[in-house]
């Protein structure tokens, strides 16, 4: 039997994508050096149209030509090693797809290398986790457009659907697909950090029980904050291990791990001179969480936060108002987070000549992916109305939402800060907004200082040219 598609790497994502394809009539071959994973693949296939391999040569020989092979292996050197292992068995015109979380600069290099060998190649971000891979992910392919067009029917068939539209589209040339997925992951980091800070406020600030916290997230997911991350947080606050009398989440150590994509987003934003402080703070807090022993010592020295119950500064008057302000603050910060990510994409589109269509990116993020949310409809609408929109916060409809939520945001930040509850992502979001809406930032002083100590020069209001001052006599 010949197969239409080959998958290298039969872990959770690779196996479930092949099974998804099989459900849509695609005959798939899977390769993994661990033969037991190929066996598992065949056992889970309902249609009987997939096969597992543990040797490269028979795997490649089983594929129809021109061959289409997707790699879902860890980012880095392993991708290059797999490519080199495959090349002797491939023919010119075959298609290779990197569906992992590769750094976009590695993808740029592989685009050139594989093109020189006569192969078609594109990098594709895949979002949605295990469930998305099996039932419909959001996919971000970028690179060889001819190769994408060949694969388009298969990818559209397995993608998540929103109002009948598949959550996959051609992103652009080069490594644009992996770049967009990187920014997607940065947004994911920030949203997760905001939810973690929300949990801290609910638990230690408002002294809510686990059951009450579940109720908050359940209510939020039924309203304008509806999203995949809020939904799974709601579910986490119901899960107990068999026989346990308490939630599993309370047994999990408070040290967050990361695979590096959030860090890459922050690093590249700095290269592009595009501020994304909400995302940056999320990356930093994951790093800080790893210093558990040091944090424990500091808590003994400095003490912990006080409760927000009874906080009366400003308009905070107990639990009911606290929850109202918190909902507004999360909505506000969620908008700011998406806005920072979309701004980064717009800057990369110009810098790297990706010609990104931000409305289409928002459209395919509405279903299947980790950062899907009701608010993505607003983002899609904003960029559909104005293809050249410089920044999401400049859209009139979005601006109205931000204005209405700002009072709750300020109450929340003031109250939490006053009693010592850490809210770095919330605070970063508010500070970003306040500087973004400021016509005259205090950066003129920074320029004066730079010129004073380093003769770095400055520009003057209403005058052309570059200026330098001898600030103190020699």
Q: Which CATH architecture has domain 181-436?
A: Orthogonal Bundle (1.10)
402 sits in which H/E element: helix 396-418
- pLDDT for residue 418: 86
- The CA–CA distances, whole Å, from 369 to 133, 138, 179, 409, 454 equal 10, 5, 16, 27, 48
- pLDDT for residue 305: 72
Report yes or no on whether pTM surpasses 0.85: yes
127-135 average pLDDT score: 91
- pLDDT for residue 424: 97
- pLDDT for residue 317: 52
Task: State phi, psi for 335 to the nearest 5 degrees.
Answer: -60, -45
pLDDT-derived band at 48 (thresholds 50, 70, 90) equals confident
What whole-number distance in Å separates Cα of residue 74 and Cα of residue 78? 6
In terms of Cβ atoms closer than 10 Å to its own Cβ (0-12, 13-18, 19+), residue 440 is: exposed
Contact 271, 191 (CB under 8 A): no
Virtual CA dihedral for 278, 280, 281, 283, nearest 10 degrees?
Answer: 130
Q: To the nearest whole percent, how much of the chain has pLDDT over 90? A: 86
399 sits in which H/E element: helix 396-418
Measure the N-to-C terminal CA separation of the chain; round to a whole number of Å: 86
- The CA–CA distances, whole Å, from 89 to 101, 285, 407 equal 25, 45, 63
Q: For residue range 53-105, what is the model confidence (pLDDT) as tens digits?
A: 999 999 999 999 899 999 999 889 999 999 999 999 999 999 999 999 999 99
E-state strands within 49-112: 50-53, 68-71, 95-98
pLDDT-derived band at 321 (thresholds 50, 70, 90) equals confident
Picking from 78, 89, 19, 88, the residue whose alpha carbon sits closest to that of residue 98 is 78
406-419 average pLDDT score: 92
- The CA–CA distances, whole Å, from 183 to 92, 348, 435, 444 equal 33, 10, 22, 31
Q: Kindly state the tokens that stand for 228.
A: 């995949």
- pLDDT for residue 260: 79
Picking from 288, 264, 286, 287, the residue whose alpha carbon sits closest to that of residue 276 is 264
Virtual CA dihedral for 5, 9, 10, 13, nearest 10 degrees?
Answer: -90
- pLDDT for residue 261: 85
DSSP 1: -
What whole-number distance in Å separates Cα of residue 441 and Cα of residue 127? 38
Residues with a catalytic annotation lie at 181, 188
Strand pairing class (28-31; 50-53):
parallel
Q: Which CATH architecture has domain 5-174?
A: 3-Layer(aba) Sandwich (3.40)
Residue 107 has pLDDT above 50, yes or no: yes
117 CB-near residues (< 8 Å, 6+ apart): 87, 92
- pLDDT for residue 135: 93
**Candidate from 106-110, 141-145, 187-191, 316-320 with smallest mean pLDDT:** 316-320
pLDDT-derived band at 315 (thresholds 50, 70, 90) equals very low
228-232 average pLDDT score: 97
- pLDDT for residue 16: 93
* Half-sphere exposure at residue 98, Cβ-oriented, CA atoms within 13 angstroms: 36
- Domain residues of the chain, as ranges? 5-174, 181-436
334-347 average pLDDT score: 98
**Candidate from 161-170, 219-228, 252-261, 459-468 with smallest mean pLDDT:** 252-261
- pLDDT for residue 314: 46
Report helix, strand or coil for 28.
strand
């Amino acid at each position: 039997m010949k197969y239409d598609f080959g998958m290298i790497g039969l872990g959770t994502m690779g196996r479930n994508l092949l099974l998804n394809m099989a459900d849509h009539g695609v005959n798939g071959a899977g390769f993994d050096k661990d033969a037991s994973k190929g066996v598992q693949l065949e056992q889970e296939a309902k249609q009987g149209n997939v096969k597992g391999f543990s040797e490269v040569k028979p795997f490649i020989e089983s594929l129809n030509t021109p061959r289409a092979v997707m790699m879902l292996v860890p980012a880095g050197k392993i991708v290059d090693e797999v490519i080199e292992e495959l090349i002797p068995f491939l023919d010119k015109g075959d298609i290779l797809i990197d569906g992992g979380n590769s750094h976009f600069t590695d993808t740029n290099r592989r685009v050139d290398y594989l093109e020189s060998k006569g192969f078609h190649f594109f990098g594709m971000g895949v979002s949605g986790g295990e469930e998305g891979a099996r039932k419909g992910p959001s996919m971000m392919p970028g690179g060889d457009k001819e190769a994408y067009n060949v694969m388009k029917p298969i990818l559209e068939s397995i993608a998540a659907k929103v109002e009948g539209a598949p959550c996959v589209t051609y992103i652009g040339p080069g490594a644009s697909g992996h770049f967009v997925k990187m920014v997607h992951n940065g947004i994911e980091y920030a949203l997760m950090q905001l939810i973690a800070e929300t949990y801290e406020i609910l638990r230690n600030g408002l002294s809510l029980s686990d059951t009450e916290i579940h109720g908050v997230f359940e209510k939020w997911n039924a309203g304008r904050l509806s999203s995949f991350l809020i939904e799974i947080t709601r579910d986490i606050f119901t899960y107990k291990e068999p026989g346990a009398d308490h939630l599993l989440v309370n047994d999990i150590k408070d040290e967050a791990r990361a695979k590096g994509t959030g860090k890459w987003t922050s690093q590249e934003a700095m290269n592009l001179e595009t501020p994304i402080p909400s995302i940056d703070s999320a990356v930093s807090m994951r790093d800080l969480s790893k210093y558990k022993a040091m944090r424990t010592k500091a808590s003994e020295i400095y003490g912990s936060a006080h409760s927000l119950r009874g906080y009366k500064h400003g308009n905070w008057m107990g639990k009911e108002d606290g929850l109202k302000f918190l909902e507004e603050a999360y909505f506000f910060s969620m908008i700011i987070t998406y806005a920072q990510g979309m701004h980064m994409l717009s800057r990369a589109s110009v810098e790297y000549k990706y010609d990104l269509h931000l409305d289409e990116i928002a459209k395919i993020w509405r279903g299947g992916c980790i950062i899907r949310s009701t608010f993505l409809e607003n983002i899609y609408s904003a960029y559909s109305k104005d293809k050249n929109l410089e920044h999401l916060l400049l859209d009139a409809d979005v601006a109205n939402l931000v204005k209405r939520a700002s009072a709750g945001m300020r109450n929340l930040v003031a109250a939490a800060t006053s009693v010592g509850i850490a809210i770095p992502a919330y605070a970063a979001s508010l500070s970003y907004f306040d500087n973004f809406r400021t016509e005259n930032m205090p950066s003129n002083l920074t320029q004066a200082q730079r010129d004073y100590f380093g003769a770095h020069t400055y520009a003057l209001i209403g005058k052309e040219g570059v200026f330098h001052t001898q600030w103190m006599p020699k």
